[in-house]
Amino acid sequence: MRAYDAAMAASWAMLPEAIEQLIEIAARENDPTPEALEAYRAARADNGERLTIRGNVGILSAKGPMFKGANLMTAFSGATSYETLRRDLQVALDDRSIDAIMVRVDSPGGEVNGVDELAAAIYDARAKKPTWAFISGQGASGGYWVASAAEKIIVSDSAMVGSIGVVLGITDRKKADERSGISRLEFVSSQSPGKRPDIETDAGKAKVQKLVDDLGTVFVNAVAKYRGVTADEVLKNFGAGGLEVGANAVAHGMADEVGQFEAALARLSQRGKNRAFIQSQKRIFGYA
């Protein structure tokens, strides 16, 4: 499958302009070869890891467009893989020198596929080590989904936060095929009438819309759970699919405070040390 077809077939929790940019890259006639991409990857190897350690804090970098797994597009664009972040998160949890975890987000979002698993893992990590998120630049759509799972969200003054929702694009190539003299015949098993909904009919459009709405509901419910509010509150106060900037995001309950990364890191470091000390005392004195 060409990169263009894969991009068009996916569901996205991502800013529209970022999706358009990815589609444009995928649609280029002269697709990059695996060899060229491997050379590009090698040149950036020093920056390829998503986990770094500052003192006693492990920092996970969720930067750029996000995909479930590493692929040619992630290698070419320097995007983030959910699976890589999940593995690095486990490393941070297992490393006894790391007392706390900071998820540093600057992302327009990404694929729906896989983001729920990463967010759930971040949410579970809160019970093991203090886990905060810091958003600078963008924490949009899938990027916000990931950040919302942390116990505290700190945003920079100009951070753009939100864009809660799902987008699914379908390309109708019938006219282009007709101009090219291409005739396509497709047979679908009669037991599966919902497998290829006809988007030229109202019924077909309704089926596709329901799919997108169902995915959107999963997104909203996840944010509600992670932020400790109801789904109705998310729908009412969290931008309705739009973005809020800095302090406005805090006022709407989408984030907890405005701050700077270094100051937030220092506070998280101390919180991690305090929790580690308390846990050590419990072990010494046999507390539950």
Residue pLDDT, tens place only, 188-239:
778 887 777 777 788 888 988 998 999 999 999 999 999 999 999 999 999 9
Q: What is the DSSP letter of 243?
A: E
The CATH number that applies at residue 232 is 3.90.226.10
Q: Tell me if 269 is assigned to some domain.
A: yes
Q: Tell me if 212 is assigned to some domain.
A: no
* pLDDT over 50 (residue 282): yes
* Mean pLDDT on 44-59: 71
Question: With contact defined as beta carbons under 8 Å apart, do 261 and 156 qualify?
Answer: yes
List CB contacts of 154: < 8 A, sequence separation 6 or more. 132, 133, 134, 135, 255, 256, 257, 258, 259, 264
Question: Residue 191 has what pLDDT?
Answer: 80
Residue pLDDT, tens place only, 155-187:
999 999 999 998 876 656 666 666 777 777 677
Q: Mean pLDDT check: name the lowest of 65-69, 122-126, 268-272.
A: 65-69
Q: Tell me if 132 is assigned to some domain.
A: yes
Q: Which percentage of the chain shows pLDDT scores above 90?
A: 53
Highest mean pLDDT among 41-50, 162-171, 271-280: 271-280
Question: Residue 75 has what pLDDT?
Answer: 54
* pLDDT over 80 (residue 151): yes
Integer Cα distance of 157 and 175 in angstroms: 47
Tell me how many domains the chain contains. Answer: 1
Q: Tell me if 181 is assigned to some domain.
A: no
* Mean pLDDT on 55-71: 87
Question: Residue 73 has what pLDDT?
Answer: 56
* Phi-psi domain of 55 (left: phi exceeds 0; alpha: psi -120 through 50; beta: other): left
List CB contacts of 22: < 8 A, sequence separation 6 or more. 7, 65, 73, 77
Q: Tell me if 198 is assigned to some domain.
A: no
- What pTM was computed for the model? 0.78
Q: Tell me if 66 is assigned to some domain.
A: yes
Q: Tell me if 184 is assigned to some domain.
A: no
Question: Residue 286 has what pLDDT?
Answer: 72
Q: Tell me if 208 is assigned to some domain.
A: no
- The domain of 157 spans 3-171+218-285
List CB contacts of 51: < 8 A, sequence separation 6 or more. 58, 59, 60, 61, 88, 89, 91, 92
